[in-house]
Structure 1
Amino acid sequence: MTVETIGWNTAQRRGFGELIARSWSDAGLRLRYEREPAEVLAEYDIHLAAGTTAPALPPSPGELVVETFNAAEAVPPPPCMLSICFCLQPDVKR
């Protein structure tokens, strides 16, 4: 099952992308998602329709590099060296 097949909107897909990125660096979050996916998804403002199965998290990439990015200092922005990039805001409370 993919995110597209369950009809999520853009905000929900972004929230799931953030969850994926965080799960790659937080094994506890990944384990919690495996045990209680609906509760973890709700923390990202994603609510599954009745009878809908939560999508599996993709496996962690072989190597994960986390860098602090300050958009005000990057003109033009640096190129993305991965097939998937996320901007996480550590000050956002979930």
Structure 2
Amino acid sequence: KDLTVVDPSNNVEFFFLRPKDIAIYVGSGELDLGITGRDLAQESDAPVAERLSLGFGSSTFRYAAPAGTDWTVSDLAGQRIATA
């Protein structure tokens, strides 16, 4: 799969990367600009600065449990939890 697209009319290259890697590439100087989540940029510890908030993207914490269980958030303490 090709992870690079070139727009010759605007002299721009687009790289399709894993969201968690974008800030690392920008922070190292390998790329000039990146669009990624604020949380991912902060977690990367890369030396980047947010230049523009795009005005979208908020999240609500949701959890799923096996059907028929009657869990509450307090029941999550000590459990093994997957996230993405």
Higher fraction of helix: 1
Instruction: Confirm or deny a common fold (TM above 0.5).
Output: no
TM-score by length of 2: 0.25
Q: Give the number of the structure with larger relative contact order, counting CA–CA contacts within 8 Å between residues 6 or more apart.
A: 1
Larger CA Rg, structure 1 vs 2: 2
